[in-house]
Amino acid sequence: MTKKTTIYDIARKLDITAATVSRALNNNPKISDATRELVIQTAKAMNYEQNKVAKALKSGKSYNVGVIVPRIDSNFFASVITGIEEELYPNGYHVIICQTHDQENLEIRNINSLLNAQVDGILMSISNAKLEQNESFKSLLRKRVPLIFFDRQKDIPGVSSVTIDDFKGAYAATKHLIDQGCKRIAHLSNDRLLEIFKNRYLGYKQAIIDSGLEFDENLVIEISSRVAEGRKATKTLLEMGNRPDAIFSTSDFTALGAIQEIKEHGLKIPDDICVAGFANEPFTKFMELSITTVDQSPIEMGRLTAKVFLEEVSNPSRIMSQKKVILSPELLIRKSSLKHSS
Amino acid sequence: MTKKTTIYDIARKLDITAATVSRALNNNPKISDATRELVIQTAKAMNYEQNKVAKALKSGKSYNVGVIVPRIDSNFFASVITGIEEELYPNGYHVIICQTHDQENLEIRNINSLLNAQVDGILMSISNAKLEQNESFKSLLRKRVPLIFFDRQKDIPGVSSVTIDDFKGAYAATKHLIDQGCKRIAHLSNDRLLEIFKNRYLGYKQAIIDSGLEFDENLVIEISSRVAEGRKATKTLLEMGNRPDAIFSTSDFTALGAIQEIKEHGLKIPDDICVAGFANEPFTKFMELSITTVDQSPIEMGRLTAKVFLEEVSNPSRIMSQKKVILSPELLIRKSSLKHSS
DNA sequence: TAGATTTGTGTAATCGATTGCACTTTTGTG
DNA sequence: CACAAAAGTGCAATCGATTACACAAATCTA
């Protein structure tokens, strides 16, 4: 790498001080127009680029923001990240993405690693419900580094969050299944210590109760968001004496697993069993048997998360203000749950 | 954020110099064991954490590496990134990911932005064939910032790359289609100014020629890697007087589009038309009609790319050494091309 | 025109960690 | 015991940019 020009190089060439150069480049009003113009011209001519690291040291800000997600290989998280970037880039921030692959230890390691890199804030979709008790996490809170949850959150004092109304989304999906004539609706859930899954579960449950159907706790299975897990759980459900006639899943991936398993068992979708997922992953639309799902407007979610972060850093008082932004979900009805008769 | 402890705080407490503290923490052999032990203990007690920004300024290294990809929302790129991280994290590097969304201007902006953030290197999958002529890109080369291409590359002197043998992969896929009895094989290509697509095209062409079939340039269509584009191109192909009996696509996404369009036209896959894609995206396996594709071992590709980078930065001579790592692809034959009869 | 303002720059400290050089103790050698 | 070599620390500069404070020159006021 060739050496970069610094403000000292410019100062030397113009026979002025680095301080003056710095001020000129920062549009400090105390600098005369003539000098400012001269400095700017020279800087351009010399290919000057501000050294962000030096600025970071002086200002105590790195202009890097950490984003922690379970994985980037899902349209949902990828889109949230896109939204975050759209909002943060124009403000001079860079985004460092970390994946937890749903592993606790990786989540901790990523937090430490980001703090170590002096990030100005951390935006995360939490994957470990017990994170709260972890020492590294506690120290993160103590340091008052801006922390914002999106999608998967835990209710922690002083930590803002951006989510969708999971209860509403789940309620709408379940209601739709009921409207299709389904009576025994199973639910593929996930760790309900996390608000997101708890609320989806509650929305599902409420819709059943409101419709006067019997609520059966045995039809709720807690698994992680992977196709194979969806298959396994569905196998269990199908082998029950009184098998369900619909499956509402917290994840499109597990819904896909469910569909595969149901077909394997020789059952028809949606005639024998209706299926609905959550997240509107692109494949749900592409499948020959398109999958009913709930859209979470991920790009919007990302933008809003970034906005909340920007507010927090620019707020010098840093008062414990916990902001909760809640987006509205949209039910997308597709073939996997739309009976021909109706 | 609470103030962090620095080596000066430790020095003050122990009534020694910051220099000594620094040396003790860095295992400098000139420090006595007693002092070293004392410093380390005190540092731990005071929750000391090295300020990476200060170190970055002093050393001229940011320990940040930029990764530029068309999009992270594809299993292939997400996996490559995972591989890169696996290799880089243990070496103290952080990864800043940028998406180009296949837009030229974004690619340029990302490069500038990464350089501005003082990254120690850039690993990229190029999406714009004309990038070479761009001023920002030229300046990147001039600065001798380590640059490594993966997957989508251009042959530029001094720039190493990690790719798969695209020719071989395309040859194998095409050969397989021919073995299935297909005679008129269309090819959904992409910008052939990029090596990757050029080589896939050449592999496809060679397989046809080697088999004694007629090669028809009209069956080759250049599009970008999106489902909708695949549909559109396939529509054109199907409306030809002498329609193809197979489609080999450089992308799983366009292959998916092709499949959708073919079905819409009431044709059967694989009986009427065989389809094969490229990249082994997970959905190719999940579809009811699983898609034949070519695996590119993305994680391995990521790891190797990172390794080449690590070699380049650790090589102080920085001699123009252009390394070309080429991985072997694997053809995965699935339902979309496997005729029942065979 | 003397004195008060305003304007424009320079001086030097600062952010936190690293490191060549100098200097003081120890320890070793003959 | 004298002198050389080794060991252990401190001093101070450095990385590049920012900024409070000082100060000189230019402009204004009465």
Say what the pLDDT of residue A316 is: 58
Query: What tens digit of pLDDT does each residue of B288-306 get?
Result: 899 999 999 999 999 999 9
Partner-chain contact B53 A75, CB within 8 Å: no
The answer, yes or no, to whether residue B272 has pLDDT greater than 70, is yes
Partner-chain contact B139 A75, CB within 8 Å: no
The answer, yes or no, to whether residue B216 has pLDDT greater than 90, is yes
Distance of CA B301 to the CA centre of its chain: 7
Query: What tens digit of pLDDT does each residue of B226-235 get?
Result: 999 999 999 9
Decide: A203 and A166 in contact? Cβ < 8 Å. Answer: yes
Task: Please give the structure tokens belonging to residue B161.
Answer: 């790359």
Mean of pLDDT over chain B: 92
Q: Same structural domain for residues B288 and B213?
A: yes
In a domain? residue B84 = yes
Which residue of chain B is at minimal alpha-carbon distance from A290?
B287
Phi and psi at residue A180, to the nearest 5°: -80, 0
Q: Same structural domain for residues B95 and B193?
A: no
The answer, yes or no, to whether residue B1 has pLDDT greater than 60, is no
The answer, yes or no, to whether residue B103 has pLDDT greater than 60, is yes
Mutate to test the interface with B, among A1, A108, A143 (most CBs of B within 10 A): A1
Decide: B72 and B99 in contact? Cβ < 8 Å. Answer: yes
Decide: B279 and B287 in contact? Cβ < 8 Å. Answer: no
Say what the pLDDT of residue B73 is: 84
Partner-chain contact B73 A71, CB within 8 Å: no
Say what the pLDDT of residue B2 is: 59
Decide: B280 and B63 in contact? Cβ < 8 Å. Answer: no
Say what the pLDDT of residue A342 is: 46
Q: Same structural domain for residues B171 and B292?
A: yes
Q: Same structural domain for residues A90 and A15?
A: no
How far apart CA A332 and CA A137 sit, in angstroms, is: 37
How far apart CA B113 and CA B65 sit, in angstroms, is: 12
Q: Same structural domain for residues B147 and B292?
A: no
Q: Same structural domain for residues A191 and A267?
A: yes
CATH number of the CATH domain containing B208: 3.40.50.2300
Q: Same structural domain for residues B254 and B237?
A: yes
Report the number of distinct structural domains present in chain A.
3
- Rounded to a whole number of angstroms, the distance from the CA of A177 to the nearest CA of chain B is 23
In a domain? residue B342 = no
In a domain? residue B310 = yes
In a domain? residue B136 = yes
pLDDT confidence tier of residue B317, bands split at 50, 70 and 90: low
In a domain? residue A1 = no
Q: Same structural domain for residues B38 and B135?
A: no
Q: Same structural domain for residues B180 and B251?
A: yes
Given a cut of 50, the residues of chain A with pLDDT beneath it are: 342
What H or E segment, with its residue span, contains residue A82? Answer: helix A75-88
pLDDT confidence tier of residue B147, bands split at 50, 70 and 90: very high
pLDDT confidence tier of residue B178, bands split at 50, 70 and 90: very high
Q: Using the CB atom, is residue A8 less than 7 Å from strand D?
A: yes
Which residue of chain B is at minimal alpha-carbon distance from A143?
B1
Say what the pLDDT of residue A313 is: 87
Report the nucleotide nearest the CA of residue A8, measured to C1': D16
Report the nucleotide nearest the CA of residue A17, measured to C1': C10
Residues of B in contact with A63 (CB under 8 A): 117
Report the nucleotide nearest the CA of residue B59, measured to C1': D15
Query: What tens digit of pLDDT does each residue of A294-329 get?
Result: 999 999 999 999 999 999 888 756 566 789 999 999
Decide: A115 and B94 in contact? Cβ < 8 Å. Answer: no
In a domain? residue B150 = yes
Partner-chain contact A99 B85, CB within 8 Å: yes
Q: Same structural domain for residues B146 and B224?
A: no
- The parent domain of residue A36 ranges over 7-50
Residues of B in contact with A4 (CB under 8 A): 143
Q: Same structural domain for residues A74 and A140?
A: yes
Residues of A in contact with B1 (CB under 8 A): 143-145
Say what the pLDDT of residue B342 is: 46
In a domain? residue B131 = yes
In a domain? residue A224 = yes
Q: Which residue is nearest to nucleotide C7 (CA to C1')?
A: A30
pLDDT confidence tier of residue B135, bands split at 50, 70 and 90: confident
The answer, yes or no, to whether residue B22 has pLDDT greater than 80, is yes
Partner-chain contact A260 B286, CB within 8 Å: yes
The HSE-up count of residue A312 (CA atoms within 13 Å, CB side) is 26
Q: Same structural domain for residues A136 and A185?
A: no
CATH number of the CATH domain containing B26: 1.10.260.40
